[in-house]
Structure 1
Amino acid sequence: MADLQLATRAAAPLVEIVRNIKPDQLDAPTPCTEYAVRQLVNHLLFWGPSLEGAGRKEPVPAPAASETEVDLTGGDWAADLAAQVGRTADAWSQSTAWEGTTRVVGPTELPASMIGGMVVCEMVTHGWDLARATGQKPSWDDELLEYVHEEITRTAEQGRQMGAYGPEVPVPASSSALDRALGLMGRDPGWRR
């Protein structure tokens, strides 16, 4: 079973990053090329309830609209996202979250440990995307980043086939675990705005 604090350890820096995004940075590009900051925040807000529900083994009904058809970045989106990330981390901090199978959306059951790994990796990589786009320097612990690298190594080919990851970006073997994970996902660890 995974360390029950993985999601909490991934979430804390993400919440700090979100709280430090300035309103004039919402249209900035991110290393996640299909999203500017606003769209990436919207993506996290849109899928957050489903990822939280998967951890609680309480699937959330499929949204009526796609994430590109809704804008969840109105109002106090930073507080909303920080709260959602916290709830998701709490859900994945329970041993039952990682056991058996669960669903994100729809009827397909998947191994809960696979979904939990995806949740942790999403928090770290999208946190990195937002940090790079807004000039912040996030800090996750080395053990967590090794876990993220191992998870992404296991799922990289499948992620590419599904269109979730881009073509691998070559990264020296001596690079940090985070940089190697980013390269596997198709991100350039040296990306600058």
Structure 2
Amino acid sequence: MEERRDTVYPYLVEAAAEAARVAAGVGAGALDAPSGCGDWDVRTLVNHWVVYSSHGMEHRARRLPLPEELTGRDFTADADWAAGFAAALDRAVAAWAEPDVWDGEIDLGFARQPAPEVATMLWAELVLHGWDVAHATGQEFRLSDGAAALLLHVVEKNAALYRQYEGFADPAEVG
């Protein structure tokens, strides 16, 4: 599957809506619970999810660095963080709606990658951590069959790289 605007963008729209739904279902009492992602609690996971999958996605589309003020922020300190996340996701989706955004490369600070690959990896971040948040808070993260197929493609393509940065555990046998 080739990463292009027409193959990724519709799933970005889908995943953003699902992420906003899951975020709205995270109760304040769940934030201090274990997340299942290493030693992160749900609050730490949510803050990572919010900054990199919404703000990070918008900033990458606009070819802007992610401000340090965002990377250290506790978004969950705001009682209405889920609505803020939904609004940030809307801005990110709107930024990637522009066809020209999918052209050229994006400087990630440590490498330059084609824009469609960056969009797809950010989308996967949104989905995978969306599933993590949903699972940790007793919810489901729902994807269409097409989005699930794209996610499998992205994971298979990038698993070794993600393991280098401790983003993925070792492979596990499944039935």
TM-score interval w.r.t. the shorter chain? 0.7 to 0.9
Tell me the residue number matched to 2:60.
54
> How far did residue 38 of structure 1 move?
0.6
Q: Distance in 2 between matches of 1:126 and 1:144?
A: 15
For residues 13-162 of structure 1, the aligned pairs below 5 Å read 13-47=18-52, 48-56=54-62, 58-63=63-68, 67=71, 69-75=72-78, 76-104=80-108, 106=109, 108-162=111-165
Tell me the residue number matched to 1:185.
none
> How far did residue 158 of structure 1 move?
1.0
Tell me the residue number matched to 1:180.
none
Assess if the C-alpha contact under 8 Å between 1:44 and 1:81 holds in 2: no
Match 2:16 to one of 11, 14, 24: 11
Gaps of 5+ in 1: 173-193
Q: Distance in 2 between matches of 1:35 and 1:97?
A: 33
Q: Give the percent of matched residue pairs that are identical in Structure 1 and Structure 2.
A: 29
SS at match of 1:115: helix
> How far did residue 109 of structure 1 move?
2.1
Q: Distance in 2 between matches of 1:30 and 1:99?
A: 36
**Structure 1: which amino acid aligns with 2:51?**
F
Q: Distance in 1 between matches of 2:158 and 2:38?
A: 20
**Structure 2: which amino acid aligns with 1:17?**
V
RMSD: 2.0
Q: How many residues align?
A: 168
More helix by percentage: 2
Q: Distance in 1 between matches of 2:166 and 2:140?
A: 28
**Structure 2: which amino acid aligns with 1:87?**
R
Q: Distance in 1 between matches of 2:66 and 2:26?
A: 30
Normalised to the residue count of structure 2, the TM-score between the two structures is 0.85
Assess if the C-alpha contact under 8 Å between 2:49 and 2:130 holds in 1: no
**Structure 2: which amino acid aligns with 1:92?**
W
Assess if the C-alpha contact under 8 Å between 1:59 and 1:103 holds in 2: no
Normalised to the residue count of structure 1, the TM-score between the two structures is 0.78
> How far did residue 32 of structure 1 move?
2.0
Q: Which has the higher contact order (CA 8 A, sep 6+)?
A: 2
